[in-house]
Amino acid sequence: MAKEKKDALEKTAKKDTDKNLEKSSKKEKTDKKSEKKSSGIGKWFKDLKIEFHNVTWPTRQTVMINSSIVLGTIIIASIFVGLLDAGLLELIKFLLGLAGNQ
């Protein structure tokens, strides 16, 4: 009697396993079909839309502060390069002026 119960349990377990395998294979086929439909440019735009929702966009105040820092740095750097250029130009004029007088 115990052997019969054991055999019956094994049969039901095997049936359940077979059903699960069938379901998973059907699911894989459906997944493959949906992959084919959303491949290429359409998939790229869909992924792009998802990524845009995941982006943490800066606030208006943060953008203004960062922009002013960049603008200030550019102004300071251009003044420095301009003064360096003018100074080197005067140095070259001075050196050529000395060489020309002798």
Q: Which amino acid is at 91?
A: L
* Residue that is written with structure tokens 């049936």 in the block: 15
Phi, psi of 44 (to 5 degrees): -65, -45
Please tell me the predicted confidence (pLDDT) of residue 8: 66
Please tell me the predicted confidence (pLDDT) of residue 32: 56
Report percent pLDDT > 70 for the chain. Answer: 59
Please tell me the predicted confidence (pLDDT) of residue 30: 57
22 within 8 A of 14, measured Cβ to Cβ: no
The three-state DSSP-derived secondary structure of 27-49 is HHHHHHHHHHHCCCHHHHHHHHH
> Whole-angstrom Cα distance, residue 65 to residue 71?
10
- Express each pLDDT in 57-98 by its tens digit: 899 999 999 999 999 999 999 999 999 999 999 999 999 887
Quote the DSSP letter at residue 50.
Answer: H
Q: Which amino acid is at 32?
A: K
Would you list the domain boundaries of the chain? Answer: 15-55, 59-102
Q: What is the mean pLDDT of the chain?
A: 80
Please tell me the predicted confidence (pLDDT) of residue 97: 85
Q: Note if the pTM is more than 0.85.
A: no
| Three-state SS at 73 | helix
Please tell me the predicted confidence (pLDDT) of residue 99: 59
